A and B are shown apart, each in its own frame.
Chain A
Amino acid sequence: MERGLFTAWNGIRFFTGLVYIFTFAPIAVVVLLSFNDSMFGSFPMTGVGLRWFGELANNEAIVRAFKTSLLLGSLTAVISTAIGVGACIAIVRYDFPGKELVNTLLVAPILVPEVVLGVALLLFLKWLDFSRSFGVLLLGHVILTLPYVVLVVQARLYGIRRVYEEAALSLGANRMQAFLEITMPLLMPAIFAGMLFALTISFDNVTATMFWKSAGLETVPTQIFGMLRNSISPEINALGTVMIVITVGLPLIAGGVVRYFARART
Chain B
Amino acid sequence: MAVTGEKARPWILLAPSLAAVTLLLVIPTGFVVAYSFWQRTITGLEVPELNVANWVDVFTDGFYYAILWQSLRYAAITTVACALLGYIPAYFLVHTRFRNKALLILLLLLPFWISYIIRTLSWIHILGANGIVNYALQALGLSDEPKHMLYIEFSVIMGFVHAFLPYMILNIYVSLEGIDKSLVDAARSLGCTGWQAFREVTLPLSLPGLAAGSLLVFVLTGGSYITPMILGGPDNAMFAGIIYETIIVELNWPLGSALSIVLLVVLGSVVVLYTRFMSLSQVYKSFG
Interface flags for A1-32 (1: CB within 8 Å of B; 0: not) read 00000001000110110011011111101100
Q: Are A248 and B110 in contact (CB under 8 A)?
A: yes
Instruction: Return chain A residues, CB-CB under 8 Å to B10.
Output: 90-91, 93-94, 96
The distance in angstroms between the C-alpha atoms of A244 and B112, with both chains bound, is 11
The distance in angstroms between the C-alpha atoms of A87 and B263, with both chains bound, is 30
Instruction: Return chain A residues, CB-CB under 8 Å to B86.
Output: 19
Q: Are A90 and B13 in contact (CB under 8 A)?
A: yes
Task: For B112, give the chain A residue with the smallest CB separation.
Answer: A200
A261 proximal to B (CB < 8 A): no
Q: Are B244 and A204 in contact (CB under 8 A)?
A: no
The distance in angstroms between the C-alpha atoms of A83 and B22, with both chains bound, is 14
The distance in angstroms between the C-alpha atoms of A200 and B118, with both chains bound, is 14
Instruction: Return chain A residues, CB-CB under 8 Å to B29.
Output: 112, 116, 120
The distance in angstroms between the C-alpha atoms of A200 and B18, with both chains bound, is 23
Q: From residue 171 to 224 of chain A, which have CB atoms closer than 8 A to chain B?
A: 200, 203-204, 206-207, 210-211, 220-221, 224
> A27-B118, A152-B287 are known contacts. Are A16 and B130 too (CB-CB below 8 A)?
no
Interface flags for A29-48 (1: CB within 8 Å of B; 0: not) read 11001000000101110000
Q: From residue 144 to 192 of chain A, which have CB atoms closer than 8 A to chain B?
A: 146, 148, 150-152, 154-155
Task: For A26, give the chain B residue with the smallest CB separation.
Answer: B122
> A12-B88, A29-B122 are known contacts. Are A247 and B113 too (CB-CB below 8 A)?
yes
Q: Are B14 and A102 in contact (CB under 8 A)?
A: yes
A73 proximal to B (CB < 8 A): no
The distance in angstroms between the C-alpha atoms of A108 and B260, with both chains bound, is 17
Q: Are A27 and B114 in contact (CB under 8 A)?
A: yes
Q: With A105-B18, A113-B219 given, name 4 new contacts (CB 8 A).
A: A22-B162, A29-B132, A123-B253, A221-B116
Chain B contacts to A: CB under 8 angstroms: 7, 9-11, 13-14, 16-18, 20-21, 24-29, 31-32, 35, 85-86, 88-89, 91-93, 107-108, 110-119, 121-126, 128, 130-132, 135, 162, 165-166, 169, 194-195, 219, 222-226, 229-230, 240, 243-244, 247-248, 253, 256-257, 260, 263-264, 267-268, 271, 280, 283-284, 287-288
22 contacts between A and B (CB under 8 A): A16-B92, A19-B86, A26-B125, A27-B118, A43-B125, A44-B135, A82-B16, A90-B9, A108-B25, A111-B283, A116-B260, A120-B32, A123-B35, A123-B253, A139-B24, A151-B287, A151-B288, A200-B113, A228-B230, A243-B118, A244-B114, A247-B114
